[in-house]
Amino acid sequence: MKLSISDNSTNYVATVVELTAFREIPEKDRIQITVLAGNEIIISKEAKVGQRGLYFVSGTQLSAEYCYNNNLYDDKTQNKDVTQKGYLSFKNRRVRAMRLAGVISDGLFMPLSSLNYLGINELPLGSEFTHIDGNLICEKYFVPVRNSNPGGTAPKPRAFKLQDIMIPGQLRFHHETEHLSKNLGRIQSGMEIVISAKLHGSSCILSKVKTLRKLNWREKLAKMLGVKVVETEYSGIYSSGKPKSSLVKGIDNKWINEGQSFYSQDIWKTAYEDYKYALEPGITIYGELLSESIQKPYDYTKLRKEGQHYSLVVFRITRTNDEGHADEFSWNQVEVYCEKYGLQPVPVLVKTKITTEVDETFLGYLAEEYLEKKCPYSVNDVWAEGICVRTEKPYGVYKMKSKNFLLGEEKALDEGQSNEDI
């Protein structure tokens, strides 16, 4: 049996868990509370301590086959057993965070028997996957993209193919930020950490790395005759941080991605034109684009440069050499680089050294201190998204999200707002 995880769904996997404890809900005789991966979950009272099953965090999209075979659709005519009605939308199959009995339930627990349709009834505790033997079980939910060419006109032909420009290893998309609750073992007492605000926008990459040159016929001939020809050059590249298509948005004067996009305007190209002056050779800047038009109603005017209709906040910088090795900037180096070029780093809440044991109590302290707060950077009255905890040696970044933000996020997804970079 082969378990695998899709590249764009590392935070939206099925995790094999074991139920260890429950908490009663006053005046509720059919449901109870349990905690999975640090999150409170509403679960049936039929569940028992020691029972194993699958945990899906909110924002996960279950496969059509999984939903059908487990009668999970709220439209019972779409279920295998048409007499059974579930609680997932047939349109999007999305696991939702919801407030129930005064508790914000973040995710879904399903018994291992839910995999019986694949002939599976046992899996090792702690296993994580999106696919089993190539069969899709779940993945990250993406809002369907809009057609970026609504007029129906044929797109302009590309000068040459992307694979004829990009050099493998020169540009790296941003990795999915993993949940802190699943990575407590990677943080030790004595480590220096940086806790920063997690802001709600669309992630962006601005880069100036080596690409292949388009050789003219004289250069091609010279190369065939054994003459050394310069075949690479630095090019400006802009992209979303974690594009589902795994394609950049554009390469300055070389290539434009004319496929579908959620936004009607190329917000990444706009950011590139505004900030390309800050791109030294080899530099890749990872940031978040913020404006109310990107993620309503989050209006981060307080972080905006004068005269701009959006904000770019930087949370990561790397420098890539000719061989494709990328050096990660320390947070101090990020701040120095941002100051040099007039960039806005993501707001830091605290820099400190951990002096206590890193366990569930530590997680609870962070939640009490930094989560479930109103956002101080937004003009509108909205919940702050959460925090990111960064370690330097070894490098790592882990996130915690506010439960109240998750509820608002569900509403935004229902209204069709993009979660491309959530």
Pairing of strands 396-401, 178-179: parallel
List pLDDT tens digits, range 224-263: 989 999 999 999 999 988 777 778 999 998 888 876 555 5
**Is residue 385 a contact partner of residue 167, using CB atoms and an 8 Å limit?**
no
List pLDDT tens digits, range 4-15: 998 888 899 999
Rounded distance between C-alpha atoms, residue 103 and residue 403, angstroms: 10
Rounded distance between C-alpha atoms, residue 286 and residue 202, angstroms: 11
Rounded distance between C-alpha atoms, residue 303 and residue 83, angstroms: 53
pLDDT number for residue 5: 94
Closest CA to 242 of 421, 10, 6: 421
Closest CA to 133 of 119, 150, 154: 119
Mean pLDDT of 11-37: 91
Closest CA to 315 of 344, 349, 350: 344
Looking at the predicted structure, is the pLDDT value of residue 148 above 80? no
Identify the three-state secondary structure at position 114.
helix
Mean pLDDT of 112-117: 96
Query: With the CA atoms of 284, 146, 407 and 13 taken in that order, what torsion angle do they form, in degrees rounded to the nearest 10?
Result: -60
pLDDT number for residue 422: 34
What does 91-124 look like in DSSP terms, one character per residue?
TT-B--EEEETTEEEESEEEEGGGGGGGT-----
Rounded distance between C-alpha atoms, residue 330 and residue 327, angstroms: 9
Identify the three-state secondary structure at position 202.
strand
Phi, psi for 128 (deg, rounded to 5): -130, 140
Q: Computed over its alpha carbons, how large is the radius of gyration of the chain? A: 24
Q: Which of 170-179, 207-216, 407-416 has the lowest mean pLDDT?
A: 407-416
Q: What's the count of helices (H) and strands (E) in the chain, helices before strands? A: 6, 26
